[in-house]
């Protein structure tokens, strides 16, 4: 029998740690059915925020002592597309001066591309766990939509959400 973290048919793991949450994020990357607990969703969001912050701000600053990216964005699916809330912004600077920083920024872009669809699917599963339709993620296309979707993701789990399994 597969572990609950890897079994896509298992119920959401309440109180999942960051490792379990990330394993379920990857294992269910393209799965819209099912549910994701609050801990699974918010650990993914924290992991994503840390990776993007490190690759777009911290490492370039440590290497070149300047910030090549103008803003740190946060949204209900990760830092991609128009569904973003600006957490931190700086004046835009020139292109990176070293190949290492350019490589780090490319890796950041690859990370964002690879987590684009899984970010949406985990948001849909999180909404399912609180007994809401996954179609609520479409709100993120509206100007205040990302904030609404983030607030909906904070809702508690409901037993009725099992209908999405």
Does this model's pTM top 0.85? My answer is no
Q: Is 52 in contact with 109 (CB distance < 8 Å)?
A: no
User: Can you give the C-alpha Rg of the chain in angstroms?
Assistant: 17
**Which residue spans within 3-138 are E strands per DSSP?**
71-74, 85-89
pLDDT band for position 118 (cuts 50, 70, 90)? very high
Predicted pLDDT of residue 1? 47
Nearest to 36 by CA among 129, 108, 114, 118: 129
Q: Can you state the angle between helices 99-114 and 116-129, rounded to 10 degrees?
A: 40
Helix (H) or strand (E) holding 29: none
Helix (H) or strand (E) holding 8: none
pLDDT tens-digit readout, 68-101: 766 677 777 776 554 566 766 666 666 778 899 8
Predicted pLDDT of residue 100? 92
Helix (H) or strand (E) holding 47: helix 38-53
Positive or negative, the Cα torsion across 86, 90, 94, 100?
Answer: negative
pLDDT tens-digit readout, 45-76: 999 999 998 998 899 889 988 877 666 777 77
Q: Is 32 in contact with 125 (CB distance < 8 Å)?
A: yes
List phi, psi (to 5°) of 124: -65, -45
Number of C-beta neighbours around residue 121 at 10 A: 21
* Unique residue bearing structure tokens 């699917």: 121
């Amino acid at each position: 029998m597969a572990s609950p973290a890897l079994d896509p048919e298992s119920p959401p793991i309440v109180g999942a740690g960051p490792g379990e949450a990330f394993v379920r994020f990857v294992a269910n990357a393209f799965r819209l059915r099912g549910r994701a607990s609050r801990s699974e969703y918010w650990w993914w969001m924290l992991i994503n925020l840390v990776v993007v912050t490190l690759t777009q701000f911290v490492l370039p600053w440590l290497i070149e002592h300047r910030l090549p990216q103008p803003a740190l964005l946060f949204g209900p699916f990760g830092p991609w597309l128009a569904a973003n809330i600006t957490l931190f912004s700086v004046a835009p600077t020139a292109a990176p001066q070293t190949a290492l920083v350019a490589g780090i920024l490319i890796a950041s872009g690859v990370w964002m591309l690879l987590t684009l669809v899984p970010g949406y699917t985990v948001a849909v599963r999180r909404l399912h766990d609180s007994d809401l339709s996954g179609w609520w993620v479409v709100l993120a296309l509206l100007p205040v939509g990302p904030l609404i979707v983030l607030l909906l993701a904070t809702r508690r789990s409901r037993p009725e959400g099992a209908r999405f399994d």
